[in-house]
Amino acid sequence: MIRIGHGFDVHKFGGEGPVIIGGVAIPYEQGLIAHSDGDVALHALTDALLGAIAAGDIGRHFPDTDDKWKGANSRELLKDVYRRVKEQGYRLGNADVTIMAQAPKMAPHIDAMCAAIAEDLETDISNI
């Protein structure tokens, strides 16, 4: 059976940079305001994986009211959720992430983002 999930995330700019997106630290004068590392791409992807297995959303599993997740590395959250996906007998077919931002520029970092995501989801980079 094929399952499809959809995720979305947004954070405001604030504080000091860098911005972490897709598991990559991107130099920028501001960071993103968040309880964890604020990686909007990985949060959306994590949310999509949870949705695909009908397991709620990222806030249910990693609530921003729990100090345990303060400053959490979103790559670790993604890997934890993907472990749950595999435990239910599923594997990733492919993933596509859309980042909407005027700045910082994403293009120089896309390959590194795809590589990080592929590593975390135990798949070939051509699936990202």
62 pLDDT above the threshold of 90: yes
Residue 49 to residue 110: CA distance in whole angstroms? 21
Structure confidence by residue, pLDDT tens digits, 35-59: 999 999 999 999 999 999 999 999 9
CATH number of 12-127: 3.30.1330.50
pLDDT at 71: 86
Domain-wise residue ranges, the chain: 12-127
The label of the residue with tokens 């249910």 reads 60
Structure confidence by residue, pLDDT tens digits, 89-123: 999 999 999 999 999 999 999 999 999 999 999 99
Q: Please state, as a whole number, how many other Cβ atoms lie within 10 Å of the Cβ of residue 80.
A: 14
pLDDT > 70: percent of the chain: 100
Residue 108 to residue 114: CA distance in whole angstroms? 12
- Strands 13-16 and 24-26, sheet pairing: unpaired
pLDDT at 60: 95
